[in-house]
């Protein structure tokens, strides 16, 4: 099966930002880019038509998006595909064939774009392939500008030292290596609220923090050997994991967070940390499924 990057478009500013990011990612990976659109999107301000006009509208949208990227990235192999079926299901099937799926996101902003909210979250939960969510520079929740100086250039990855997360670490190290970026590995933790005395609490935190740091170093050691060119910074601050990861990712170029695969009749869950990072990080967020 040929490798490629897939991006979903819907005519919104978010999907345009996602398409631009996906094109750059495809060139980094030296693979083709596939632009897709699902016919059964709900009608909204971004789609001013319904019924039999949708296929024609979507074909025009796909053609315009492809032409714009061919103009900006003339060396990139760009193809398009119109999908049928419910958006999340169609996108997850398409994602299974790709190296990664890229979607637009508004985080905690409006909910009129349909590559965010329930569709985006459902797509993440329905596929085991990495999904990257991209914000619009200058929009609420996104970066104030698209200038290179707004980003440190770092890739940030959230690590859980209590669970195996090899696919997440492989993705994060690989992305850092492709970009020539520094990788910041972050694990936030807190002591159980059982120590009441302030001095005893401080002493306990000092002791545990050393064990946490050693554990984080041990988890990352095989990946440092596999990717010797990647400069790694390890951070294990005290505090809620989601809060610490969002704080560390404030100036990141890309944030990678894990999602444990849970096969349940009640549906997939992405986890509290991944949920918080998706909604509060301005940088593109990659959600990587792992056992």
The Cα–Cα gap between 151 and 129 comes to: 26
- Which H or E run includes 88? helix 87-95
**Res. 115: pLDDT tops 70:** no
Residue 266 confidence (pLDDT) = 52
- Among 12-26, 92-106, 252-266, whose mean pLDDT is lowest? 252-266
Residues 74 and 168 in one domain: no
Domain carrying residue 99: 5-134
Judge whether 269 lies within some domain: yes
| CATH number, position 49 | 3.40.50.620
Residue 144 has pLDDT above 60, yes or no: no
- Any idea which residue has 């990946």 for tokens? 223
The verdict on 15 and 78 lying in the same domain is yes
pLDDT at 86: 83
pLDDT confidence of residue 192: 65
Tell me if 143 is assigned to some domain. Answer: no
Residues 130 and 155 in one domain: no
pLDDT greater than 70 at residue 59: yes
Tokens of 253: 């170029």
Domain count, the chain: 2
For residue 204, what are its two tokens?
A: 């306990």
Q: Indicate whether 211 and 88 sit together in one domain.
A: no
How far apart CA 95 and CA 110 sit, in angstroms, is 25
Q: Are residues 193 and 160 part of one domain?
A: yes
CA atoms within 13 A on the CB side of 158: 32
Same structural domain, 57 and 159: no
Same domain for 109 and 178?
no
* Residue 160 and residue 110 in one domain: no
Same structural domain, 170 and 257: yes
The pTM for the full model equals: 0.85
């Amino acid at each position: 099966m040929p490798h490629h990057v897939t991006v979903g478009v819907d005519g919104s500013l978010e999907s345009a930002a996602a398409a631009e990011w996906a094109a750059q990612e495809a060139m980094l990976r030296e693979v083709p880019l596939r632009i897709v659109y699902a016919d059964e999107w709900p009608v909204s301000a971004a789609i001013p038509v319904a019924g039999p006009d949708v296929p024609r509208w979507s074909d025009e949208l796909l053609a315009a998006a492809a032409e714009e990227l061919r103009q900006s990235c003339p060396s990139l192999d760009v193809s398009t595909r119109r999908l049928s079926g419910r958006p999340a299901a169609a996108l997850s099937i398409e994602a299974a064939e790709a190296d990664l799926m890229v979607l637009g996101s508004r985080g905690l902003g409006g909910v009129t774009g349909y590559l965010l909210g329930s569709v985006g979250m459902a797509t993440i939960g329905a596929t085991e392939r990495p999904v990257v969510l991209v914000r619009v520079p200058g929009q609420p929740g996104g970066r104030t500008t698209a200038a290179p100086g707004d980003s440190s250039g770092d890739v940030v990855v959230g690590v859980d030292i209590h669970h195996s997360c090899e696919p997440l670490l492989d993705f994060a190290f690989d992305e850092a290596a492709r970009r020539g970026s520094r990788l910041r590995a972050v694990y936030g933790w807190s002591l159980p609220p059982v120590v009441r005395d302030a001095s005893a609490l401080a002493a306990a935190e000092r002791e545990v923090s050393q064990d946490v740091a050693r554990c984080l170093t041990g988890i990352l050691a095989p990946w440092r050997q596999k990717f010797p060119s990647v400069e790694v910074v390890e951070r294990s601050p005290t505090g809620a994991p989601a809060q610490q990861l969002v704080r560390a990712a404030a100036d990141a170029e890309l944030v990678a967070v894990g999602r444990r695969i849970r096969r349940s009749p009640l549906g997939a869950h992405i986890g509290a940390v991944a949920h918080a990072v998706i909604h509060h990080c301005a940088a593109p967020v990659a959600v990587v499924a792992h056992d």
